Structure 1
Amino acid sequence: MWAPDWPVVAAAVAADVPLHLPIAVLAANRVVACSEVARADGVRRGQRRRDAQALCPELVLLDDDPDRDARAFEPVVAAVEELSPGVEIVRPGLCAFRVRGPARYFGSEPAVAERVVDLVAAQTGVETAVGIAEGVFAAALAARTGGIVPPGETPAFLAPLDLAVLASSSLTAGDQPDLVSLMRRLGIRTVGAFAALPAQDVLARFGPDGAAAHRLARGLEPRPLVARLPPVDLSARREIDPPAERVDTVAFVARTLAEEFAERLAAHGLACTRLVIEAVTANGEELSRTWRHDGVLGVGDIADRVRWQLDGWLTGRSREDRPTAGVAVVRLAPEDVVEHGGAQLGLWGDTGADDERAHRALTRVQGLLGPEAVVTPVLGGGRDPESRVRYVAWRDAREPSLPLEPPWPGQLPPPAPATVPHESPPVSVVGPNGEAVGVTGRHALTSLPARVSLGNGPGRTVLAWAGPWPADERWWSPVQARRRAWMQVVLDGEEPSAFLLALESGSWLLAGVYD
């Protein structure tokens, strides 16, 4: 089954452009597909953008997007699967299926072709053509005219065709345009003339790619049809009637929905590690969020995440953030699944591991107080201790905010401070004569540090110091730019005595304390 000019159809539908207009799909400023109206004005595949617009000034230009083409073709394939359970997608816009079984059911092969065209048009509004032959390659060529090749006549059907059809096939590997060009220089211009060459000579001269193209020219398939298995819908959805405006009401429904969702995954030997939770109100307002997890999500984990997500939405701090109606639909959809055979218990019914008991306790606290009540630190990349550590909720994906791998020019030298304060007390650094110590534009101290005052405490004598180490981050962004200089000092008096200081915006801050 072939959908003519499918990249044009998919792009026009996505951009809401009428298909009766001249349309071209571009990639790297060259035409990769165009509509029939555009071809009537002389637009062809491979043309430059400027040449195409010169031939057709009213040409509508759309960007090429293979992912969009594949997504848009999925409903078409689903419609075909209602008549034939096994469908192979050759490429977006072209799919193949075995016709023997449907032909027995509907009476004939032409009846199957007619039903496929009518069903796809009725369900998706897409105009298609069906070709029937022995093999996917010949059937795809027959679909261009809507023809049916009788059994045993595939080589005769292919023989008069131009050799360029081999270069446009999705079933051949390698650089077939070069093979076609070479054949033309040798005087071989049709598929039949190429098929008449000895197979062993083609293999010896052109290698495996040439041999695969030669098999297609002889009406043989390089591989059998690979039928696609229809995707299994693992999502779970529940409508709430009447719509719920209280979090606890939605959480009660979410618990039952989570059990149904987990059972559906378990039936296929799967477990979810990344989950999409969607909530829709009676007025159509929607909140969708993806939750990542360090392990597999159990029933309690899923129910807790639904409650956490809706708690911040239904009880928004400002009236503008709150939905105008109650939650009417909750949907759970897996985004990442893994094979999971369940937990292997011990002989007496428990795992007997201390970490498992700790996990249950922390999960319980998190379920009672919210996701941010139990957090764990994750070390990442950065130049200072404060930016290198981020806190993630218990059992959420432990991914650093910045990559650990170097280079990080301007990074503080080891060792790292043992304590990084959340709020820095005021710090005063003065020189031998009581003058304030700063850092010049050449990254040198304006005076030797003699005394340092931390907070409201008395000044302490500087026994040793190192630095300064400058860091000018994101200087290209006025909003995110940050300029600092670090200095390590050792002070006299009681412990602790080693500190990391940072000069930013003309003021010294306490950036860390060493053991």
Structure 2
Amino acid sequence: MTGQKAPPRVIVLWCADWPVTAALDASSLPPDAPIALIDKGVVVAASAAARHESVKRGLRVREAQARCPDLVVQPYDADRDARLFEPLVASIEELTPAATVLRPGLCAVRVRGVARYFGGERPAALALVSRLVEHGGGLVRAGVADGIFTAELAARRAANAVELVEAGGAAGFLAPLDIGVLEEGPVPEVGGIVTLLRRLGIRTLAQFAALDASDVSTRFGVHGARLHALAAGSDSHPLVPRDVPDDIHSEVVFEPALELVDQVAFGMRQHAERFVDELLARRLVCTAILVRLESDAGQVHERTWLHPRSFSPADIVDRVRWQATGAEFTAGITRVVVLPDAVDAVQHHEAGLWGAGPDERIHHGLSRVQGLLGHEAVLVPTVGGGRTLADRQHLVAWGDRPVGVRQRSAPWPGRLPSPLPATVFVPRHAVHVVDERDESVAVDARGRVSASLVRMTSGSRTLDLTAWSGPWPVDERWWAPEQATRSWRFQVVDATGCGWLLVLDGDGWWAEARYD
């Protein structure tokens, strides 16, 4: 992107299957045991032996056990992952300062200092990989690239210990990758954008990066613009850098000192909420925090935590708990300090209304509107089944489950295929379609068009048609002759380049939708 600061060179270290490695370290199971870690009845991690038996993330426990009868099922423990990863990060910091923990099993360091010490980027990455392996990191891979996003993908796809992407080569490395890798990045609400890109025929990052940046920003907003920057090899950090406010921090003093980690985490809850609220009051969110722990014996433990999106109060409490679990203090904790290390504008991180889960503030606001104006005052669009676009659109009261909505997954012969038009007319618009002799175009029972479509008139507006295709029949209720209907669909393009979906039925021509 023009004018954007070049991404910094980083080394991302990835401990493959870290949750499984941590579980094996905390148990007496053999390394080649088929293991699945379960959270809320779903597999969240599986060992290589389990994956060989087709056990993968997202499976229910019973289905996983059916695929692998010898499967060892254990509960997933996020605190254990953080506690056991802490000594590995400490071992890295013996070679280079300020390792940033992305999440347990994944950390990043800047290339510049450590590369100078070891005589190059690859020797430095190999040294860090060896250090993690020596301290029980299991299978470790390193990615060296411009920016954390590219370096992480390089680490995950490394055939050997180190995958090095040359400076300036991020775009070429990313180009052949599937568009779905963007779901591993730092942008919220990405799933719907990736799905729409696939429907538009965009399969690789190169195809996405080739689109005009202004067009992407107009169609997909801020989140789409950030995804486009990632696909082009730009840094995965916020597009607009922000100065970190030096007057916002969270500090908790415990008197007497606390020995239990859960007590420390409980004591941080209100302070974490106040910390996030102070940032939101300035229209900011925190993408990286520095957590400092102090013990009654004068010991200090600091760690920088990076969030793939932005920190919520619960995220901050989790990081404090993980760090307190891994810190080897000989006395109780007397002080916890949380400082913002990187911030960004809040509009870059707001969740959409129709995303994976509503933001609590959005839910509260809309629920209040319902209380004031009535239950049906706030409606949410949902997509159901049907052959026509109007049939597939449904409005459901906020907070209600769709009732009486046709099943989307059912077969609908004659349904319009993807990509679907962006604007659907409800009600549909009456139009008049004529040929070059200004006579109305008709279709006979065999689907033969009387003449080429030349012009379309809607009210006082007349558009010349430069291209058209069709007709495609839509037969409904053919099993009941007295209720049976037949219509014909056409796709046309006018002289301005705009696409239209037209329908011809017994009542005449209609504009059903527009391809914006």
> Is TM more than 0.5 here?
no
Indicate the structure (1 or 2) with the bigger Cα radius of gyration. Answer: 1
Q: TM-score, normalised by structure 2?
A: 0.45
Q: TM-score, normalised by structure 1?
A: 0.45
More strand by share: 2
Q: Which has the higher contact order (CA 8 A, sep 6+)?
A: 2
